[in-house]
Amino acid sequence: MMRALWTAASGMTAQQLNVDVISNNLANVNTTAFKKDRVEFKDLLYETLDRARLLDDGGRPVNLQVGHGTTPVATVKNFEMGNFERTDNPLDFAINGEAFFMVRGPRGEVVYTRDGSFKISVTDEGNMLTTADGYPVLDQDEMEIYLDFEISRLVVSETGELSYMDEDGITIPLGQRIGLVRFPNRNGLVSLGKNFYGWTEASGYPIPDEEFVDSSIIYQNFLESSNVKVVEEMVKLIVAQRAYEINSKAIQSSDEMLGIANNLRR
């Protein structure tokens, strides 16, 4: 009976984490460029009560084994693109492809994001392109981007080339390009919060997006929405709740059976 108690308890613990992840997905349904998570599980060790053997030796054709429950092993990001929403804001950008924007983080490190809702921060050097938290957006050379002109004149090409329209309608290039990078293994990235990702040895070093044949495209005046589908997450939540409930029933049943066994001596 004790095996059943611990096995069902592992199922409840696993489903609790599953509900936590689903809740985080639902909480970020309106977060720009948010990528939903999914929990992966694996079964635990098996106790072999009898092994399969050759029938000629008087054996049995199948094993007799019992498992010890389940455990979560990974949370996997789904990097499927969300829908593009038009904002008509010249500082809003959406990426059509697998690339990420580069941003200078709070400790001077480079972090990565799909959230292109950028802003202008006034500094001593000029008007800097930043995130909503004031972190500088970087160009292809990991340098800050300054836009010292009327923002309504900003023009960004599909490759990220920055330019502006002068009073005569002539396009003047700035000689900078919004930096885009990719990773050999996107699922190896670590989520840092605030829509930022950090590279790890598992993700591999960032590679400039222009080195790929199918390079990504930047759309100005658009934002990428979250890829969370509410109905899908609600169904997962119901399944997780039912799994948690049935595991609790297994614990209750095991406890009642132990109680019956203990009362046999009375």
pLDDT score for 63: 80
Written in H, E and C, the secondary structure of 207-241 is EEHHHCCCCCEEEECEEECCCCCHHHHHHHHHHHH
Handedness of CA 97, 99, 104, 109 (dihedral sign): positive
pLDDT, tens digit (0-9, with 9 covering 90-100), for 42-59 = 998 888 777 777 766 666
pLDDT score for 171: 86
pLDDT score for 59: 67
pLDDT score for 265: 65
Q: What is the pTM of this model?
A: 0.86
Closest CA to 193 of 6, 31, 19, 53: 31
Closest CA to 100 of 17, 33, 16: 33
pLDDT, tens digit (0-9, with 9 covering 90-100), for 175-234 = 999 999 999 999 999 999 999 999 999 999 999 999 999 999 999 999 999 999 999 999
pLDDT score for 132: 92
Residue written as token pair 């930047």:
218
Contacts of range 15-24, beta carbons closer than 8 Å, 24 or more positions apart: 15/240, 15/241, 15/243, 15/244, 15/247, 16/244, 17/72, 18/72, 18/236, 18/240, 18/243, 19/237, 19/240, 19/241, 19/244, 21/75, 22/233, 22/236, 22/237, 22/240, 23/237
pLDDT score for 58: 65
pLDDT score for 46: 84
Separation between Cα atoms, residue 33 and residue 79, nearest integer Å: 9
Averaged over successive runs of 10 residues, the pLDDT of the chain (266 residues) comes to 84 95 96 95 85 69 83 93 94 96 94 96 92 94 92 92 86 92 94 94 94 93 96 96 94 85 75
